[in-house]
Chain A
Amino acid sequence: MAVDITIRVAGQAGQGMQSVSSVMGKVFMRQGFHVFIHQDVESRIRGGHGFTQLRVGDMAVGAPGDRIDLLIALDGGAVEGDFQDLADEGIMLYDPPAAGIPKESPQCFPLPMERLAEEEGKSKIMANTVATGAAFAILGADLQPLLELLTEEFGRKGEKIVENNASSARAGYDYVAEHFKGHFPHTMPQSVPKQGRMLISGSEAMALGAIWAGLKFYSGYPMSPSTPIMEFVASAAKEHRILVEPAEDEISAINMIIGASFAGVRSMTATSGGGFCLMVEGLGLAGMTETPAVIVVAQRAGPSTGLPTRTEQSDLGFVIHASHGEFPRAVLAPGDAREAFHAMGRAFNLADRYQMPVIVLGDQHLNDSFFTLDRQDLKPAPLDRGEILRDSEIPSLRDYRRYAFDRSGISPRILPGLSGALVCADSDEHTEAGHITESGKIRKKMMEKRMGKLAGLTREMAAPWVYPSEKFDIVLLGWGSTLGLLKEAVDSMNRDGITANVLHFSEIFPFPDRKGVRDRCKDARIFSVENNYTGQFADYFNRETGLPVFKKILKYDGRPFTPGEIRSRIMDAL
């Protein structure tokens, strides 16, 4: 990559770190660059310390960078802490009075953010906008596109606000131009704007994908890091006539979507591991009543409250096994925003076709990170509502049986109130007509009918992504949000002559393409890379394929891997 710049904005909650990165990201995205933004923040509204980190490239970027080229230090904590992560040639912009300790390093550039904000933006809270303007000057980028975006973003708040933001950005930009232009080794070249390019988070992509798939009913209870999904759906609800009902708890949320889905509309909920714990009873209800249900579980570090705003992939075993009893389900785990969009349409189609719950596993790193996408990345699959009978297709309206035995395991549905027939669904074991039964004979047949759906479902689960070649010496095995990280780690290893491949699963359960995976990997040295303590996917993979995993590369500090970290841990083990 000719352009590959990482910019970290570090400070306290409430200082506007997110807005610095998203404004910068949007300007660069519009200029045709690829952008990846991830965040590392504390579970609080004001104070503490955290950062957002933006990576800009002229080729696809889907992972955090290993080194920081530009650090915008909004507080003393950034000067003390984040400064240690700066690349050798990187520089730090900091506010000397606010940050406390002046740095005597040639990498440190004092920028009076708060003073300029007060003078030019009429308020200290504009310090982040001063910093944004300064960063543009450091990068040798034009100021004009930034000013245009600020006008666009703040236009509805009135002219005064736009003016204060513009003056602040200009002040930061001019200060850098005057005092220390030319010190930064990386500059942004001119680029060709790309029509239809987007900057979108994993959560937004999930919400968008769900809406595109015909979502009509959403119920949920806010829980980090899933909340932006509900917020996006709510923001589009009025225009697209989607009903969003805030639930009193997650138990209610899942039962409401089951009710709405039983009545015939595509329905979903989203939560994190703790909320999903409450939903598990309802998951079994969807399984037993054979009601389609789509549940997003955006994982965070657990157990219990864990690290609310941080990432982990530790709920895999939980969602695969959740609930008492046995019933079919599917588990998907998209790897980036594009996959997140498509996973939702896929989840709805599978849920409707197999009349079962489908879980889409995200995590904080996927859900809160921003990715660039192009319009052609979002070609949704056609809607498939599964078998819903018209009255003319029912032999006898009086004798419609909701759970009629069928070899496929799938009994065609009708929708209550829209058919001349009646439908009875039951959480008890039931007859074909849906009435309570204690018969051992019927119980056995009904179990076989429900579990029989797994055969068809297993056949259509998508095979893992293989990259870049068909040579399998070293395999980096992963799932979900590590997609971009694994790709970059492998690219870097291959550049140095180490033949390595990514084997990445976005559709997890039932295990897809068991034979294909076994044939490809039978002589490979497999490294599993996961954000959890026990290597849940590695164990699942081993159970399903019989293949040994050579080494588990695990991380469970609540932070995502970086590509360099994966590479060096694998190299150490080789």
Chain B
Amino acid sequence: MLTLEDYQSDDPVAWCPGCGNHGILKALKEALLKAGRAPGEIAIVSGIGQAAKTPHYLRCNAFNGLHGRTLPVATGIKLANHDLTVLAEGGDGDAYTEGGNHFIHAMRRNIDITYLVHDNQVYGLTKGQASPTSEAGYISKTTPSGTLSPPLQPLALAVASDCGFAARGFAGEIGHLADLIVEGIRHKGFALIDILQPCVSFNRVNTFDWYKKRVYSINDDALYDPGDPVAAFQKAREWGERIPIGIIYRSRRRPLNEKQEALERTALVKQRIDPSAFEGLLARFQ
């Protein structure tokens, strides 16, 4: 019988007190337990940044790679052993700037990975510079006159990319977030969960209180259909006085790993190599 204790790591946590990451970590552990995935069945890949330290803080198989490169590593792991439940984790800089190309193509592939993006709208680990999701006009040491470009809209991009599963969670609503992660893990295909994560050290605007006043759960509305891309696109762009959280979009596309002929019988890593089988290839050259 799995318990939360099974995911408990001994590694000391290096996040700031009060950081939204603590809530996300708690939600993640609850979700893994609820989804019934034992530590040995999980592989979590992360990049670089405060969010990317997450796999060190729970017990699982982990690969802490490079800034922005979580998704290619996670894709390689999933394709080599699709019996693993693969999650990827990073911040908004990791996911949406440095890893932008990989993000778009992971959605296109619809590889069965759950991607948790800790979106705090600021570069935390490098001490407070503007990020791709910072509000226009955000003043920081690298943008002393304020950010000139508007924030990237990850969920709108996800809907446009026919992403398998696109959701928004909030680090301040741990139960709701845990449920979203469970749904993401169970979804067969690429699952993006953009998580509103207040940064207590650098982001003075998008605080816990600021979000608490604005977020509402979209899936409470029985009339909202996440399978409708037009409605989803509108919802994905909603931001300001009211901010929707929940499952924004769902597509029924088959995931890449289910389409690969090489994986029809068994995971790649479980396939036996028999060099004598290759003899036939020589005929092409004879």
Contacts and interface: CB of A to CB of B under 8 A. Distances in A.
Interface of A: 30, 196-200, 204, 208, 211-212, 214, 216-217, 219, 236-243, 245, 247-249, 251-265, 267, 281-282, 285, 289, 373, 375, 378, 380, 383, 415-428, 434-436
Which of B55, B66, B101 has the most A CB atoms < 10 Å from its CB?
Answer: B66
Interface in B52-71: 53, 55-56, 59-66, 69, 71
A187 B56 CA distance: 72
A262 B76 contact: yes
B278 A258 contact: no
A426 B73 contact: no
Contacts of B71: 252
Contact of A251 (B60, B63, B69): B69
A212 B53 contact: no
Interface stretch (B168-176, B187-195, B207-215, B268-276): B268-276
Contact of A427 (B39, B66, B76, B84): B66
A434 B62 contact: yes
Contacts of A258: 65, 73, 76
Contacts of A419: 40
Given A216-B271, A263-B77, A267-B76, A249 B101 contact: yes
Contacts of B78: 259
Interface string B242-286: 000000000000001000111101001111010101101110011
Given A219-B76, A418-B269, A285 B56 contact: no
13 contacts: A212-B275, A241-B262, A251-B72, A256-B75, A263-B80, A263-B81, A378-B282, A383-B275, A416-B81, A420-B40, A427-B66, A434-B62, A436-B14
Interface string B39-53: 111010100100001
B261 A241 contact: yes
A-B interface, 10 closest residue pairs, ranked by CB to CB distance from nearest: A259-B76, A255-B72, A263-B80, A198-B285, A416-B61, A260-B76, A259-B73, A260-B80, A214-B273, A256-B76
A248 B101 contact: yes
B43 A416 contact: yes
B74 interface: yes
A180 B268 CA distance: 60
A424 B101 contact: no
A200 B40 contact: no
B55 A424 contact: yes
B134 to A, nearest CB: 25
Which of A249, A265, A267, A421 has the most B CB atoms < 10 Å from its CB?
Answer: A265
A193 to B, nearest CB: 11
B72 A243 contact: no
- B interface, by DSSP: helix, strand, loop or mixed? helix
Contacts of B45: 259
B105 interface: yes
Nearest to A420: B40
A547 B191 CA distance: 59
Contact of B48 (A30, A199, A247, A427): A427
B72 A256 contact: yes
A291 to B, nearest CB: 9
A232 B43 CA distance: 31
Nearest to A201: B285
B124 to A, nearest CB: 16
A214 B48 CA distance: 32
A77 to B, nearest CB: 31
B26 interface: no
B238 interface: no
B83 interface: yes
Given A212-B278, A282-B66, A416-B61, A245 B53 contact: no
A217 B40 contact: no
A217 B265 CA distance: 16
A204 B285 CA distance: 9
Contacts of A427: 48, 64-66
Given A256-B76, A258-B65, A424-B62, A263 B84 contact: yes
B73 A262 contact: yes
Contact of A241 (B41, B56, B84, B271): B271
Given A245-B79, A416-B61, A252 B102 contact: yes
Contact of A259 (B63, B281, B282): B63
B221 interface: no
Contact of B275 (A197, A251, A380): A380
Contacts of A251: 69, 72, 101-102
Contacts of A219: 76
Nearest to B266: A241
Contacts of B270: 418
B11 interface: yes
A345 to B, nearest CB: 10
A237 B45 CA distance: 27
Interface in B7-57: 11, 14, 39-41, 43, 45, 48, 53, 55-56
A211 B76 CA distance: 18
A245 B79 CA distance: 9
A241 B261 CA distance: 7
B127 to A, nearest CB: 17
B269 A263 contact: yes
Given A282-B69, A285-B65, 5 more contacts: A262-B63, A263-B76, A417-B61, A426-B63, A435-B56
A239 B63 CA distance: 31
Which of B71, B273, B277, B280 has the most A CB atoms < 10 Å from its CB?
Answer: B273
Contacts of B282: 196, 198, 208, 375, 378
A500 B260 CA distance: 54
Interface string B79-96: 111011000000000000
Contact of A281 (B60, B66, B262): B66
Contact of B281 (A211, A247, A252, A423): A211
A258 B43 CA distance: 14
A267 B80 contact: yes
A521 to B, nearest CB: 37
Contacts of B72: 247, 251-256, 259
A423 B53 CA distance: 15
A200 B286 CA distance: 9
Contacts of B60: 422
B95 to A, nearest CB: 14
A57 to B, nearest CB: 18
Nearest to A249: B101
A262 B48 CA distance: 18
Contacts of A252: 69, 71-72, 101-102, 105
A225 to B, nearest CB: 19
A248 B109 CA distance: 11
Nearest to A385: B273
A217 B39 contact: no
B122 to A, nearest CB: 21
